[in-house]
Structure 1
């Protein structure tokens, strides 16, 4: 599973997960602990700041992790500054910017932004300067306005008024900062904001508002043969947003599954255990459109009898990094809730699988799930590895470790650091403070 050797088909591959570099690429806390004791190897951090090593750039977290490493190891930020300015203008897919193939722009902005909040003056000045003369200045400004205190970016409004152009309409979000605060300060800004607002209203006018529709009306829309695809997708999303079961959805599910409507899985999840009889049927029919979704529904709501299809779905992910979390969570829940001697081997195999995923997967977004499952299945051995998880790249992993790591002297030192770190998530800081105070 994965590409950890030179025989893989990709141009670039991850270093073996048991190496320091491999752990660093995956955002592991063990890599930070190792580098703290081996600062001469700090240059390895640059291999992860010049190329985004996240498996999924949208959900996996690295900015805080890498900013801390640069700060704690006192590494020069000059390469990041050069990387920021080397990137060309944004190009929508399928166009590409060869200077940003590996997400170098967002990586540089994200790390520098976090460093600035940690007190790095050069990072702060670099990003403010980039708004004044950088190519992708609106992208950079949007990040600053969403992350920094208002007083840090508010003074850039005059620069924005000078630089903004009518062709920037697509990049501006009128209802978000900084534009929400800056409206009315300069006609050049207001002209673009008004155009952007009109454009978004036109787009919203083409959407369907079903917020006031009853459950029965939503089902009627889904059953109607003359209703377009977009309307049905909107109805499914409305059912999911309301987060209350609509059992009548099962009356029309076969039609919707055949039409392969986006949003159907999310609406089915809301049904809870009511979906189990149908999901069990889908799980044994490899030709059914909901065959893959069925295992995830069984993992979320099923019982011991549902273990085989969940296991089979997990085995189908042998060459994939995404999607293990829900399936393994379901197995851990079932095995913990109804332990039996006949499942001892399965539990041992699941523990081994989860341990390997925790260490080997570069898809760090799912790591918290694996650790939560391991705490259910093997609490003693899992607790023993939690202290280094305080240094993990993922906030939910750090939160879990802050709540459950054994309070050794080293753990308390790391908890103190998290409690007082201005770039740490509030929930993690609070959990660290609570553990240190004995609450």
Structure 2
């Protein structure tokens, strides 16, 4: 399997292919053959096998490095490569440091002191590590920043070090948090407000309850300098739910492609059973074309119809098994569960090792209460590298079982 950039993925059931895709089964099998898995784990850090920027691999790879007891030197060496390679290695090492690796922690601190990508590494660790692990690097940062060509953009950790940062253009705009909903809508309806101001108004509205008065304004909320809706508009319309359907019928017939697409999406998200055959055909076509971006939305639409959409099950199973776009796997599994939960226990269990947080959350909630499953849930609960949401879900699952026993 090849993507548009010429990368070729190994067979989806091989150890190499499973690890490239971040599948839970890959992590399980890697622990069974550590001598074979090590080269593929290192390769996952050396090359970016994510299909899309939203896919996650760093925690998956860090766990494998820790559990396979792999030497860190090949990963530390990647810090001196190009910026993207350095950051992939950095994300793995900073997680390993959280898990107790002094070697990983010192390697990143040494890079801040002497390395070429020290600014990016400093910003990354400041987001993940407790401040006491990096605050003492302030003198180093101040000395090195004086030799940089430009000031950094992020506030943390630089303002803590007393280092001036560049002001983002948005920072110069006044906050709209104090405006009422009517005032925000007035900004959106005005002809003279800049796109940036309208974007801020949409962002503020999206933090509040759905606003039906927005519907009439949607056709006027395209970006002035590009054939797209303003950022935040799609989210705002999605939050309106079925209330947007009547207007969406006219949007779908509009000459502006962005508005026609938005209208078609709203209608598809709220259509009746008459669209079911077409949705199954759409998913089949996406599978046939190996269109890895987008089938998750089709899957969610199909899931609304429950067992009536069972014709989609074979395509969903293939997509779950083979997609390199790990972000979409959870949607396929949720759709399969809505249609027919039988036979999914193994998929829920495998998801406890998956690279994606949403998959691990699903597995934590739905995997059967077998001893090996509960042992894995306890590992997730106690792993300092794990996300806060997964640790919390694991605690809840195990606490519930304790109450029943």
Short-chain TM bin: 0.7 to 0.9
Q: Deviation of residue 134 (structure 1)?
A: 0.6
Note the 1:236-385 alignment, pairs <5 A: 236-245=202-211, 247-257=212-222, 260-263=228-231, 264-283=233-252, 288-307=257-276, 317=286, 318-333=289-304, 335-336=305-306, 343=308, 347-385=309-347
Where does residue 158 of structure 1 map in the other structure? 139
What is the aligned length?
A: 394
Alpha-carbon distance between aligned partners in 2 of 1:309 and 1:212, rounded to the nearest angstrom: 46
Q: Deviation of residue 400 (structure 1)?
A: 1.2
Note the 1:108-127 alignment, pairs <5 A: 108-127=89-108
Contact 2:34 2:68 in 1 (8 A): yes
- Once the two structures are overlaid, the 10-residue window that deviates more, 278-287 or 414-423, is 278-287
1:170 aligns with 2:151: yes
Q: Which runs of 4+ in 1 moved over 6 A?
A: 284-287
1:210 aligns with 2:205: no
Out of 72, 76, 84, the residue aligned to residue 77 of structure 1 is 72
Contact 1:233 1:261 in 2 (8 A): no
Alpha-carbon distance between aligned partners in 2 of 1:220 and 1:430, rounded to the nearest angstrom: 41
1:46 aligns with 2:13: no
Check 1:268–1:416 CA distance in 2 against 1; reply closer, same or farther (3 A cut): closer
Q: Can you give the 5+ residue segments of structure 1 that lack an aligned partner in the other structure? A: 88-98, 183-189
Check 1:261–1:200 CA distance in 2 against 1; reply closer, same or farther (3 A cut): same
Alpha-carbon distance between aligned partners in 2 of 1:308 and 1:295, rounded to the nearest angstrom: 17
Q: Deviation of residue 287 (structure 1)?
A: 6.3
Where does residue 61 of structure 2 map in the other structure? 66
Check 1:223–1:144 CA distance in 2 against 1; reply closer, same or farther (3 A cut): closer
1:34-71 CA distance string (max 9 Å, x none): 112222212221221111111123x2111111011111
Contact 1:132 1:159 in 2 (8 A): yes
Alpha-carbon distance between aligned partners in 2 of 1:373 and 1:289, rounded to the nearest angstrom: 27
Q: Deviation of residue 379 (structure 1)?
A: 1.4
TM-score, normalising length: structure 1:
0.80
Q: Deviation of residue 20 (structure 1)?
A: 1.6
Where does residue 51 of structure 2 map in the other structure? 55
Alpha-carbon distance between aligned partners in 2 of 1:365 and 1:436, rounded to the nearest angstrom: 26
Q: Deviation of residue 167 (structure 1)?
A: 4.1
- Once the two structures are overlaid, the 10-residue window that deviates more, 392-401 or 165-174, is 165-174
Where does residue 408 of structure 1 map in the other structure? 370
1:282-328 CA distance string (max 9 Å, x none): 44678653233334334544443454675676567545322332331
Q: Can you give the 5+ residue segments of structure 2 that lack an aligned partner in the other structure? A: none
Alpha-carbon distance between aligned partners in 2 of 1:430 and 1:385, rounded to the nearest angstrom: 21
Check 1:239–1:315 CA distance in 2 against 1; reply closer, same or farther (3 A cut): farther
- Once the two structures are overlaid, the 10-residue window that deviates more, 305-314 or 263-272, is 305-314
Backbone CA RMSD of aligned residues = 2.8
Check 1:161–1:417 CA distance in 2 against 1; reply closer, same or farther (3 A cut): same
Check 1:166–1:218 CA distance in 2 against 1; reply closer, same or farther (3 A cut): farther
Q: Deviation of residue 24 (structure 1)?
A: 0.5
